[in-house]
Amino acid sequence: LIEIKRGHYDHWALYMGDGYVIHVTPVGKAVPSLSAGSETILIIKVTKELLNQVVGNDAWTVNNKYDCHCTPLPVGEIIWRAECCVGEEMAYDVFDFKSDEFVSKLRYGGRVSDLEGPS
């Protein structure tokens, strides 16, 4: 997992090898949320790009933060799962979505809350 520091938030990507990462990027404009009635829902797309293009001038580090709680899936399965997502679009609520959760599910499988253990 690659953690990219973007000012007041962190962006996450999954390293695929040969300099490429898979991550999510916003497409289009915000749309009204059905629950709150405010424009907090965005459409994101899963993309595969070169790490240096995604990072730009931002600081980044490898951060496999759940390795202490869960064994990663085999590398071949992680890459297969990630490649299957490229091009997918999905809606998400900007207040609930976490890009680390998306890439963590690819690396470890299951739900992130299951990886953290009891609070």
Closest CA to 113 of 70, 75, 80: 70
Query: What does the pLDDT look like over 35-71, one tens digit per residue?
Result: 555 557 778 899 999 999 999 999 999 999 899 988 9
- Tokens 């890009």 sit at which residue? 99
Please tell me the distance from the alpha carbon of residue 97 to that of residue 76, in angstroms, as a whole number: 26
CATH superfamily of 2-108: endopeptidase domain like (from Nostoc punctiforme) (3.90.1720.10)
pLDDT-based confidence at 91, cuts 50/70/90? confident
Would you list the domain boundaries of the chain?
2-108
Question: Distance (Å, rounded) from C-alpha 8 to C-alpha 86?
Answer: 27
pTM for the structure as a whole: 0.79
